[in-house]
């Protein structure tokens, strides 16, 4: 290499270094990949969904722009109204149970006891098993003919008639809520436990000396101090539960008679099952304002 080339090389390198030293430029360079990925995988499907919802596209057909027709149709669809109500019902009760049970577990696990670590870890089990898998197991337990629960209850003489777990509309809804709760409790418990551990034990001792009993200590000290964490988990869980799909799809498929259909499963059924892509998209978009409101 001639000294001239070396010189040029050096100038080149230093120009690149200087460019990297510039904070604004560096920020853009570092953020660009993430932004591109976000746009590709989040914004694109979202925009597509909006576009689809404004057309009467069917599988295999060519869509035409129909404006808000799909939304208006959905709004007047009685099944959709049931589904919308189901979704609220499901989300509300599942969240209430998850919060109550999760809090209770977190309070228990926050004490000192033997094999604390093993128990804390094993509690996460429902959380790490894939939903589809565990829901299948539950479906089996609730099966009209082979239900273990029915069998046990029957043989200890608790019931004389089989319980209609998934064959009755109300029962099926509560079963779905139960399974969702079972699956979601560990997340609540672990997160709340982490929150509990940031509360200084001195505060509990001070409250105990101040004459507060266990319930009053919870209500006046733990609950208000845990509120920020609780809010985050609840919001998180509401979002997930509101748009729940896998669990219902596997457990009941939305039945019997649409009694457990949620917005997501109904949208899927219409869009993919029936092929009315435009209407399905419109229905799934109904979730959006609700979720925005929650956040």
Partner 1 sequence: MAEVVLKSVNKMYGNVQAVKDVDLHVRDKEFMVFVGPSGCGKTTTLRMIAGLEEITSGDIYIGERLVNELPPMDRDIAMVFQNYALYPHKSVYDNMAFGLRMRKFPKPEIEKRVKDAADILDIEMLLHRKPRQLSGGQRQRVALGRAIVRHPQLFLFDEPLSNLDAKLRVQMRVELKRLHERLETTAVYVTHDQVEAMTLGDRVVVMKDGLVQQVGEPLELYNQPKNKFVAGFIGSPAMNFVEISIAAESGGLWANNAAFQIKVPPAKLEALRPKVGKQVTLGIRPEALQIANGSTPVESSFQASVEVIEPLGSEILLNVRCGTNDMVARVDPSIRVKLHENIRLALDPARLQFFDSDCELAL
Site for partner 1 in 223-242 (CB under 8 A): 224-225
Q: How far is the CB of 222 from partner 1 (least distance, A)?
A: 11
Residue number, 128 or 209, with CB nearest to partner 1: 209
- Asked whether position 196 contacts partner 1 by CB under 8 A, the answer is no
Looking at 22, 64, 205, 272, which residue binds partner 1 (CB under 8 A)? 205
Burial-class residue 51 by CB neighbours within 10 Å (0-12, 13-18, 19+): middle
Q: Which of 268, 270, 265 is nearest to 172 (CA)?
A: 265
Residue number, 14 or 200, with CB nearest to partner 1: 200
Looking at 52, 54, 173, 207, which residue binds partner 1 (CB under 8 A)? 207
- Asked whether position 216 contacts partner 1 by CB under 8 A, the answer is yes
DSSP 65: B
Residue number, 149 or 199, with CB nearest to partner 1: 199
Residue number, 144 or 224, with CB nearest to partner 1: 224
Q: How far is the CB of 287 from partner 1 (least distance, A)?
A: 34
Looking at 209, 292, 293, 295, which residue binds partner 1 (CB under 8 A)? 209
Please tell me the distance from the alpha carbon of residue 55 to that of residue 67, in angstroms, as a whole number: 7
Looking at 63, 127, 220, 256, which residue binds partner 1 (CB under 8 A)? 220
Residue number, 190 or 221, with CB nearest to partner 1: 221
Q: Do 262 and 248 contact (CB within 8 A), yes or no?
A: yes
What tokens appear for 61 in the block? Answer: 């057909």
Q: How far is the CB of 174 from partner 1 (least distance, A)?
A: 36
Please tell me the distance from the alpha carbon of residue 75 to that of residue 197, in angstroms, as a whole number: 47
- Asked whether position 203 contacts partner 1 by CB under 8 A, the answer is yes
H helices of 41-168, where?
A: 44-53, 69-76, 78-109, 116-122, 125-128, 131-141, 148-155
Provide the greatest CA pair distance for the chain.
98
Site for partner 1 in 37-76 (CB under 8 A): none
Q: Do 111 and 120 contact (CB within 8 A), yes or no?
A: no
Q: How far is the CB of 194 from partner 1 (least distance, A)?
A: 18
Name residue 55's beta-bridge partners. Answer: 65
- Asked whether position 107 contacts partner 1 by CB under 8 A, the answer is no
DSSP 55: B
Looking at 115, 211, 289, 292, which residue binds partner 1 (CB under 8 A)? 211
Please tell me the distance from the alpha carbon of residue 34 to that of residue 56, in angstroms, as a whole number: 34
Binding site for partner 1 (CB under 8 A): 200, 202-203, 205-213, 216, 220-221, 224-225
């Amino acid at each position: 290499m001639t000294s001239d080339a070396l010189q040029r090389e050096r100038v080149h390198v230093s120009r690149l270094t200087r460019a990297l030293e510039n904070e604004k430029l560096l920020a853009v360079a570092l953020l660009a990949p993430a932004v591109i990925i976000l746009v590709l995988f989040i914004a694109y499907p979202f925009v597509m969904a909006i576009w689809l919802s404004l057309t009467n596209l069917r599988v295999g057909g060519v869509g035409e722009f129909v404006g808000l027709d799909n939304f208006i149709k959905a709004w007047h669809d009685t099944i959709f109204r049931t589904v919308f109500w189901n979704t609220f019902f499901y989300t509300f009760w599942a969240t209430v149970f998850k919060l109550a049970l999760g809090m209770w577990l977190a309070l228990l696990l926050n004490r000192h006891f033997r094999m604390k670590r093993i128990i804390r870890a094993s509690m996460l089990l429902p959380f790490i098993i894939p939903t589809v898998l565990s829901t299948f197991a539950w479906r089996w337990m609730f099966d009209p003919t082979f239900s273990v629960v029915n069998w046990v209850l029957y043989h200890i003489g608790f019931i004389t008639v089989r319980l209609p777990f998934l064959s009755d509309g109300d029962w099926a809804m509560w079963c779905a809520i139960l399974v969702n709760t079972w699956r979601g409790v560990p997340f609540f418990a672990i997160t709340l436990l982490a929150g509990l551990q940031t509360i200084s034990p001195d505060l509990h001792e001070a409250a105990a000396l101040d004459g507060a009993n266990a319930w009053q200590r919870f209500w006046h000290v733990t609950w208000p101090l845990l509120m920020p964490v609780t809010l985050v988990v609840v919001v998180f869980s509401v979002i997930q539960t509101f748009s729940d799909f896998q669990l219902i799809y596997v457990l009941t498929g939305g039945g019997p008679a649409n009694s457990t259909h949620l917005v997501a499963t109904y949208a899927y059924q219409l869009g993919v099952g029936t092929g009315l892509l435009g209407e399905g998209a419109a229905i799934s978009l109904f979730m959006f304002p609700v979720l925005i409101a929650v956040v």
